[in-house]
Amino acid sequence: MFEKLEKNSEAICPAILRISLLLKICYGILVQFDFSGHDLWDVSDWNTITTGNLGYIQYLYQFRCLPDFYIGQFYHPPLFYILSAVIMGTVYGPTKNVELAFDVIQEFNLVIAFLVSVYCYRLLKLFNVKGTRLVAGTAFFAGIPLLYNMGACINNDCLMTLLCVMTVFYVLKWEKHYDWVDIIKAALCMGLAMFTKTSAGLIAPGIALFFLYKLFKPGREKIRKKIVFQYLTFGVLSVPVGMFWLVWQHFKTGMPFDYIMPLYGKEEEASALASASIISRLGLPSWQQMTDVFPDYDNFDNSVNIWGQFIQTTLFDEGVYNCSVIIFKVIAIALIWVFAVLMLVLVLRTVSFIKSGKAEISQKILLIGVFAVLLGSFVKFCFQYPYICTMHTRYIFCIFPVMLIAYGVSPKIFLEKSAAALKVERAEACLMILFGILSVVLYLVPVII
């Protein structure tokens, strides 16, 4: 089997991606548009404005203008909501069926989720990952439940994630030939990512460090002038687009640049998480987190661990997965442990990648810069806003491409030609492929039956 994977990976991976697109579209057909309730709130009756994600889309469609207030979800940049409002007009206009319009928007978002996996695959190809590792990495991105849940939820997280992954891809692609088209694409993706969700700016420090290294690296004297002009182009295109919403809202409505919507009615939860020890929050996950698919809102001590919620939200979002069939509960628990082991493997691979000479220093600066800033800001955010909903992997999806690239290019853990190296290599690949298969079974079969 592994020999076939090695020889036919170039044909197998596109097939996996095409199947994943069909599965995501089917998933959108099978679940309601409000299945995942991340601040969707109520559908507007076209008379009273509702301030959740659904109401934001309806507001833009109904009034054809940007909001001059930042109540509820209206503080978010509008790109995703503008695109969704266009779809709303296309579907709701002739049918007057608002639920059908939101169903189509959900399918649109699931296609975006599919494109995330496509660009993750393209990143692996950019690093010349081949054979079994390429198949395993593609299976991981095609099956990861986080993309099903982000796609099924009508909010801006999925589009922001796609644009961030595209930014990293085009920046790295630009490095190969210093092509103007690639730097322009990277700049537009960066600007539009922040025009979708402001937190996309967290990938900027890694890109900035990468640019500085490329500028001052010895041997670049002949093309330094070209690089400077390309950097200026990147800034001219990305900064105005990315910062437009924050500046416009600040001067239009007085919204602070660092504004985050406050949460009310969760004082007990905030107190429980804030008073938990550092070990409880950053140590090992609780037993409940490793054996259940729901956060424990009856005993917050069981859900305070950040890494436990990282696992939970990657696999099950926040309580959306609900199946009473015992076999699927068993599969769900098995998936938790498979994913936990997989994360340990990928962390080791990332460390190995940093120490190895398998990639350019500039590439390491960019990838590890993105990884470190995202993970560091995530931990800080979890402590700064001590709520269970804060500890969600959707905020930091871009750490996964970094870890899978590290897996794809890092040297074998043991001696290259040893029997142990071959066994470890195959075990890692089996683990990723198993993860992808179990994820598909867990997410599609229960909603079908």
pLDDT for 364-409, tens place per residue?
Answer: 999 999 999 999 999 999 999 999 989 999 999 999 999 999 999 9
Give, in order, the Cα–Cα distances in Å from 79 to each of 74, 76, 83, 126, 197.
12, 9, 6, 28, 8
Q: What pLDDT, in 10s, does the model give residues 180-212?
A: 999 999 999 999 999 999 999 999 999 999 999
Mean pLDDT over the full length of the chain: 90
Q: Span 206-219, mean pLDDT?
A: 88
Q: Is 124 exposed, middle or buried (0-12, 13-18, 19+ CB in 10 A)?
A: buried
State residue 418's pLDDT score. 66
In sequence order, which residues have a C-beta less than 8 Å from that of residue 122 and are 6 or more positions away? 169
pTM attached to this predicted model: 0.95
Quickly count: other Cβ atoms within 10 Å of residue 140's Cβ.
24
196-225: string of b/e by CB count within 10 Å (b at 16+)?
Answer: bbbbbbbbbebbebbbebbeeeeeeeeeee
Residues 6+ apart with CB under 8 A from 221: none
Q: Can you give the pLDDT at residue 321?
A: 67
- For the chain, the residue count is 449
Mean pLDDT value across residues 54-82 = 95
Note the pLDDT of residue 143.
Answer: 93
Model pLDDT, residue 21: 95
pLDDT at 413: 59
Write the CA distances from 399 to 369, 386, 437, integer angstroms: 10, 22, 21
Nearest-angstrom CA–CA distance, 139 and 434: 9
Is pLDDT above 80 for 142?
Answer: yes
CB atoms within 10 A of CB 234: 21
